[in-house]
A and B are shown apart, each in its own frame.
Chain A
């Protein structure tokens, strides 16, 4: 096992966050796969040691959760929601277009190591269907054309911004953010968009408001 002093210090910081060390196992696994590109046996050993469990127990945890990779992933993770609402409203076509463009299927990585494609479940963004994610950042309201365009632009090294968040970095960067979420990007982009404001805008337009005192109501 060989982790750097820096990594060890970061893992210890995660452990210190919780009343019991084992609770830090999930953020530690996020951190290790951000460093290694997957959950490696060495990563497991490090997490297990700091969490005070056996490597077998840490492996049992890592293998339960779909976000932990046990094989190398691409630089970018491309997710397409294929649950009923997104899928039937067009996510199925988006997935097909991306699969054709990238030449890979579900949970496969392009030979150049740039993209991993995944059919993902509901992203809690159904109002923005069909939903795609790049490195788990929202790409809302995609079409087959716009989804392929995102991949084209990423491949050309262009700047691509999430529809409700920061400029796309890499999948590993996002994994690091999951371990250390105060990543300085909270003010990036326009996270609150027109669909999130649909009711509020309409209420203002029509002069509707909630009473703020008990007397005003019905």
Chain B
């Protein structure tokens, strides 16, 4: 049995952890002190050697991303933290920022020093004021303590950190849309290349990292590459803040080495409510293909999930039991993508409308077998044909649902899904609470 390994979450039960004094009590900012004595390139090398991969979904090697920033180019460099956590099912960055905002700030300072950025931005979605105010307080405390500002701890390094609140647009979690948003434009993706490492914020070299990724940095710098690599696998080193949600007895945050299985996580989460069967689950957000009970023993690593035909994504598994209609679940996700498509690219803008409209007919029992094939064609025509991954994501739920649950789509050609699956049986409350 893979053990739980709280690292990022280790001191979350200290109610003062969100303060500078609380964070320092648990060794906070000691990694920064050590980092500021090192050559920035050595830090980039260290993160490269650690094998840390981005925790925002794509899993790109973090150190490699940092190394793409051209040095001595005379341009200002920027660090932008993607804290726009809005992926359906993803709920780990917001808890991290609420429970331990200083671990993010320490990571931001070290990262900025490594990539020679004197300005860092933390872009947090606007719908979570609790996370925003805690990060804002952490920035002020760090500034007052001389950890942010001019000549940090006598190192000669200057850094300003700004927290920026979004305003309700899922697309701003896409890194180039986020940059446009941060520049004060509509949040629409840019064509790549050029990549942000070369021309990002204000057309200057920019590193964009996810919150959890950045929170790994102080630990890697403080405890070393060898320590970090004892967790996880060769290709997926380290630990992960897993957030388990859905029809489980104890939904919540579970931090464990990469490579733990869903079966083990389910066990930690107290098993399924009422002992019902797992019907389908998604390892990391609605944008990754769904899996079934046959995949509970697949290691939660980037490589094993890819081999199983899906992605680790955000590493925040949603688990659904057999009371849920997969047709209804997929339709709801497509309604989301339709709503959140920014409208820039025709295949995504129009395609999400077509798919959603067709799926809604299935939901009401009016689908047809011919339309089941049409939907496959539509998804094929969206995937890879838009600027950003939102289109690809929108083209993901249906094909994977069809692969494992074809019969349900066939049934939805004649019978409304609510007549097949009583919606109330999927609720996590019952009796008086349900009125």
Contact = CB atoms under 8 A, between A and B. Distances in A.
Contacts, number: 298
B332 A87 contact: yes
Contacts of A19: 76, 119, 202
Given A85-B318, A191-B99, A20 B165 contact: no
B252 A182 contact: no
Contact of A85 (B89, B242, B253): B89
Interface in B1-37: 3-7, 9-10, 12-13, 15, 17-19
A136 B253 contact: no
Interface in A170-217: 174, 177-179, 181-183, 185-187, 190-192, 194-203, 206, 208-214, 216-217
Contacts of A89: 246-247, 426-428
A121 B130 contact: no
B340 interface: yes
B133 A186 contact: yes
Contacts of A22: 183-185
A88 B129 contact: no
B86 A121 contact: yes
Given A83-B88, A88-B426, A181 B184 contact: no
Contacts of A84: 88, 286, 318, 329, 332-333, 336
B435 A198 contact: no
Contact of A122 (B15, B86, B227, B329): B86
B128 interface: yes
B384 interface: no
A87 B320 CA distance: 12
A30 interface: yes
B4 A88 contact: no
A177 B91 contact: no
Contact of A200 (B10, B98, B184, B239): B10
Nearest to B88: A122
A18 B161 CA distance: 10
Contact of B86 (A20, A124, A209): A124
A160 interface: no
Interface residues of B, number: 103
Nearest to B87: A122
A218 B233 CA distance: 12
Contacts of A183: 133, 136
Interface stretch (A4-12, A107-115, A126-134, A151-159): A126-134
Interface residues of A, number: 91
A64 B342 CA distance: 8
B95 A196 contact: yes
A146 B433 CA distance: 7
Given A66-B168, A92-B423, A126-B245, A121 B224 contact: no
B93 interface: yes
B42 interface: no
A85 B162 CA distance: 33
Contacts of B320: 88
Nearest to B18: A186
A210 B5 contact: yes
The 4 A-B residue pairs with the shortest CB-CB distance in the complex, in nearest-first order: A198-B252, A217-B230, A199-B254, A65-B167
Interface of A: 17-20, 22-27, 29-30, 51, 53, 60-61, 64-68, 79, 82-85, 87-90, 92-93, 97, 120-130, 133, 136-138, 143-146, 148, 162, 164-166, 174, 177-179, 181-183, 185-187, 190-192, 194-203, 206, 208-214, 216-218
12 contacts: A17-B162, A30-B165, A88-B320, A127-B252, A129-B246, A144-B434, A178-B132, A178-B165, A192-B99, A196-B98, A199-B268, A210-B5
Given A144-B434, A211-B230, 5 more contacts: A67-B167, A79-B127, A83-B88, A93-B424, A191-B134
Interface of B: 3-7, 9-10, 12-13, 15, 17-19, 76, 85-91, 93-95, 98-99, 119, 125-130, 132-137, 139-140, 162-170, 181-187, 202, 223-224, 226-227, 230-231, 239, 242-247, 250-256, 268-269, 286, 316, 318, 320, 324, 328-329, 332-333, 336, 339-340, 342, 423-424, 426-429, 432-435
